[in-house]
Every structure is written in structure tokens, then in C-alpha cells.
Amino acid sequence: MSGDELTPETRALLGAARGADDPADGDRDRVRARVLAAIGAGAAGTAGAGSAKAAPAAGGAAIAKLALLLLAVGGVATGAYLALRGGGGGDAGARQPAPVIAHEPAPAPEVLPELPPEPEPELEIVMDAEPARDREPEGKPPRVKRPKPEAPEAAEPPAPSPADSLQAERALLAKANAALRDGNPDAALAALGEHQKKFPRGVLEEERAATTVLALCATGRASEGKKSRDRFLTAWPRSVHAARVRAACAD
Amino acid sequence: MDPAAPGHVPVVDAAATALFGPMTLQNAATPRVRSVAMDFTSVYDEHFAFVWRSMRRLGVPDRALDDAAQDVFIVVHRRLAEFEGRSSLKSWLFAIARRVAHDHRRRIGRKERTEELHETVADPRGVTPAHDAERAEAVRTLHEILNALDDDKREVFVLAELEQMTVPEIAEAIGVNLNTVYSRLRAARMAFEAAIQRRRAQQDGSP
């Protein structure tokens, strides 16, 4: 093997897998809405503070929530789009001379530096972003989260799962899988329920959801299984587990 | 912070200014590039799929794809007015995507993610439609092998073998010279082929 070319076997593999990473239409629309909301938030923050960099995070969050609220009532897509286009009404050729979000006209370096290990963002656009697992069904605007009165808006979200938490998550998933293999889907569901309780937003949430579908279908609770299956495929349409989940409770 | 966690803050690449400086050039852009570069909506529509695919192939987990793609296009929006077209738009976008992907990916370690693929979902019945199963297996194999490559090889392999980009385009996208791209591509192909052979040997040896 010289490295000058790939073998036919490898080319066949790449050919089979090539289109699988493409987004679905829902992915495109969902992210577009989020980007427009964030851009709108950034624009408002810039106008209010003179510098997005100087805008306090709490203020940015409030602005982002306002943007999401606008999005929820169907206004932000149009509003941000028009802002992008300079507010022109139907003049596709009219453009803003500069993006809506202000950026620092910092001098350009001569070379591309490596990303520092812990970059401090030059501009933070804070928005109440929905995690992937909470995605709304395709075509619907993002859900607006209401702030909890007991928690300050700028409060830090929970820290990511440390390694020991991940080990614990995997142990529970392994327990569920073993139960499934032993033909005991109820025990699998119990383990999955424990995972859900201990790690509602765990790193392995996607795998828990996939295994839950398999377990529900294995118990014969087809209706429940199909609902879980549909939720899974909506939340993780490109999951590597999608084919297995899709086949778990055949219609 | 977990990129999928509530309250995820899109980190608009701190190195964005440094990153995009060299691509903000004084020479005139071609009409094609200029017209695209001034229209964020067109860039989004035409290149979202490329950015999304690139994120997946660079190892961003599914759960973080929305956040990562959002971060990319926020940077694009900020910097688009400065893009004048000396590099191809695709190369420019990939340069953004690789930085964002790097940031997201390091939040979930490569090993952890690969182990998840192997261990966390059982297939007690093994019932899958043949076509879906074959394709799913191909995708799983591709991603597992990509995950095992180092970043330098991975990027070049993705752009050359999956995106069919030219070596000069790749060189622009990752900021290295042509010889380096050729060298990395050769090494990446060899590593990929070796991984395929190892997998085949494991399958042959299994009961």
C-alpha cells in the first residue's frame, strides 16, 4: 500500500457512507432559525452596549430570550432576515455595507495561529440555546424557556459530566443491555429509568434513548415504543443508532 | 461546558480575528465569489450541508451538531463582509468549521465517543433491514476509522476522499503548503487502509 490511491474495497465503503452525513431539511431549517435568533440578539446587544464584547452576559441572555420570543411568534425570521438585508423591502440588491453584528476590526496576523487551549471569546453571543435533545419537531420554532424565578439568569449551567459520571452512565447502560440480551426488557427499562433519574442530561442520553426504544419494543409495548422511536429519530435523525431504532418496532 | 447543555453559549471562535485575517485580502475578488460573499443567506443555503457534513466527519457528536453549526454560521456572518475571495469559499468555511469542531470535540473525548459506539447500544435481536444495516455499518466503520486518525490526517482525508476537494483547496482550508497536503493525504490513506485491513482480520477471526 503506497498511499497513492485507495483500494476498491475502501472506495466502496466511502461510496456507501458518503451521503449519510448530509443534513436533513429539518436540520437546515432548525439551525437557520437559531442562527437568525443569535444574530438578532447580537445586533440588539451591539446597539445597546456599543460593543458586543462589552455587553454583560446577563444582558445578552435577556436579549437572546427576547429574540427567541420574537422567533416564537414568527417575527424574528423576518426581522433578522430584513436586518441582514439592511431592512430593505424586496430589494434583493440592497445590502448592508457591514454585518449587523459588530466585530472588532483587529489587525490581521501574518500566519494562522493555533487555537489556544482555553480561548476567551472575543464576542460572546449569549442565547438560551436549546440542546439537541430538546429539539422541537422539524419546522416548528424553538420553544421559549421561561426563566426560573429562583435562579439568576447568569447562573452557570451544570458542569459537564466528569469521567466518573461517564463511567457510571456506561455501567447503567451496560446493565440495561445485558438485561436485554438476557431477554429481560423490564429489567433493562429499570436500569434505563435509573439512568434517566441520575443523568437526565447525561453524555449518553442518546444511547439511553436508543436502548429505551429497543427495550420498550421488546416488552411488546409497541405503541409506547413507537412513540419513543419517533422522538428519538426527531432528536437524533443522523444517529448511528437510527437504523436499529427504526427497525425496533416495525410499523 | 457540555455543548448540549442548557444555556450553551455559542463560543464565537476567540481566534476568529487571527484566523480570518489572512483571508481578508486586498486584491479584487472574482465576481462569482464576491456576489456569494456578500449574501449570507446564499452562503448558508449553498453550504450548510458542507458545513454539517464536515462537522460530523471531524467528530462533532450528533448531540452537539446544532450548536456547532450555529457557531460556524455566526462566525461566517460576522466575517463574511471581510471575505474577498482569494481562497475558495469552501476552503474558508472549512477553516472556520475545523476550529469550531475542535472546540466542540474536545469537550467529549475521542475515546469516550468511540467506546459509546461500541458498547452502549445492544442489538438483542439483530433485526435490521439489510440496506439500512449495510449503510449503517459503512457509516459506523467510516466514523470509527476517522475517529482513530489524528486530526491532520483526518482533515485531509475528509476533504480529499469525501469532499473531492483539490489539493490546493485543501492547502488553503487548513493553512499548509501543497507538499504537506500530499504527504498527509498519503499517510491518511495508508492509515485508513490499515484500519480496514485490521477490521477485516478481526471479522475473519470472529466466530
Residue length of chain A? 251
Mean pLDDT of B36-62: 86
Most confident of A72-81, A128-137, A187-196: A187-196
Q: What is the pLDDT of residue B11?
A: 39
Cα torsion B203, B204, B205, B206: sign: positive
| Contact state of A119 with B107 under an 8 Å Cβ cutoff | no
Q: Is there a domain that residue B90 lies in?
A: yes
| Contact state of B17 with A244 under an 8 Å Cβ cutoff | no
| Contact state of B187 with A161 under an 8 Å Cβ cutoff | no
Q: What is the pLDDT of residue A54?
A: 32
Which helix (H) or strand (E) segment is A49 a member of? helix A25-49
Answer whether A151 touches B (CB < 8 Å).
no
Which residues in chain B touch residue A81, judged by CB atoms under 8 angstroms apart? 41
Mean pLDDT of B167-181: 92
Distances in Å between the Cα of A128 and the Cα atoms of A6, A33, A69, A158, A183 are 45, 13, 11, 14, 42
How far is A135 from chain B, CA to nearest CA, in Å? 9
Q: Is there a domain that residue B91 lies in?
A: yes
Number of domains in chain B: 1
Close Cβ partners of A200 (under 8 Å, ≥ 6 residues apart): none
Which helix (H) or strand (E) segment is B197 a member of? helix B178-205
Q: What is the pLDDT of residue B146?
A: 92
Rounded to 5 degrees, φ, ψ at B100 are: -65, -40
Close Cβ partners of A56 (under 8 Å, ≥ 6 residues apart): A154
How far is B72 from chain A, CA to nearest CA, in Å? 9
Q: What is the pLDDT of residue B48?
A: 95
Summarize pLDDT for A143-175 with one digit per residue, the tens. 444 444 444 444 444 554 455 666 677 788 888
Exposed, middle or buried: residue A54 (CB in 10 Å: 0-12, 13-18, 19+)?
A: exposed
Q: Is there a domain that residue B6 lies in?
A: no
Residue A84's pLDDT band (boundaries 50, 70, 90)?
A: very low
Q: What is the pLDDT of residue B51?
A: 96
Q: Is there a domain that residue B3 lies in?
A: no
Answer whether A190 touches B (CB < 8 Å).
no
Q: Is there a domain that residue B93 lies in?
A: yes
| Contact state of B17 with A104 under an 8 Å Cβ cutoff | yes
How far is A143 from chain B, CA to nearest CA, in Å? 13
Which residues in chain A touch residue B130, judged by CB atoms under 8 angstroms apart? none
| Contact state of B132 with A126 under an 8 Å Cβ cutoff | no
pLDDT score of B180 more than 50: yes
Summarize pLDDT for B87-120 with one digit per residue, the tens. 788 999 999 999 999 888 777 665 555 555 444 4
* Portion 90-119 of A in contact with B at CB < 8 A: 95, 97-101, 103-104, 106-113, 115-116, 119
List the single residue in B with minimal CA-CA distance to A122: B14
Q: Do residues A246 and B132 make contact, with C-beta atoms less than 8 angstroms apart? A: yes
pLDDT over 90 percentage in chain B: 39
Cα torsion A45, A47, A50, A51: sign: positive
Q: Which domain holds residue B100?
A: 11-205
Summarize pLDDT for B4-40 with one digit per residue, the tens. 444 444 433 333 333 333 333 233 333 344 444 458 8
Q: Do residues B133 and A15 make contact, with C-beta atoms less than 8 angstroms apart? A: no
Cell of B195: 484500519
Report ipTM (2 d.p.): 0.72
Q: What is the pLDDT of residue A175?
A: 87
Answer whether B10 touches A (CB < 8 Å).
yes
Q: Return the residue in B9, B67, B73 with the most chain A beta carbons within 10 A, the one to mutate for interface testing.
A: B9
Distance of alpha carbon A217 from the chain centroid: 27
| Contact state of A238 with B7 under an 8 Å Cβ cutoff | no
Count of alpha carbons within 13 angstroms of residue A161, beta-carbon side: 21
pLDDT over 90 percentage in chain A: 5
| A219 or B23, greater pLDDT | A219
User: CATH number for the domain including B150?
Assistant: 1.20.140.160
Q: Is there a domain that residue B170 lies in?
A: yes
| A112 or A201, greater pLDDT | A201
Q: Is there a domain that residue B77 lies in?
A: yes
In single-letter form, the type of residue at position A45 comes to G
Other C-beta atoms lying within 10 Å of the C-beta of residue A19: 10
* Portion 11-40 of A in contact with B at CB < 8 A: 13-14, 16-18, 20-23, 27-28, 30-32, 34-35, 38-39
| B145 or A97, greater pLDDT | B145
Q: Is there a domain that residue B4 lies in?
A: no
Q: Which residue has the cell 491532520?
A: B152
Distances in Å between the Cα of B17 and the Cα atoms of A54, A126, A154, B22 are 17, 19, 26, 9
Exposed, middle or buried: residue B144 (CB in 10 Å: 0-12, 13-18, 19+)?
A: middle
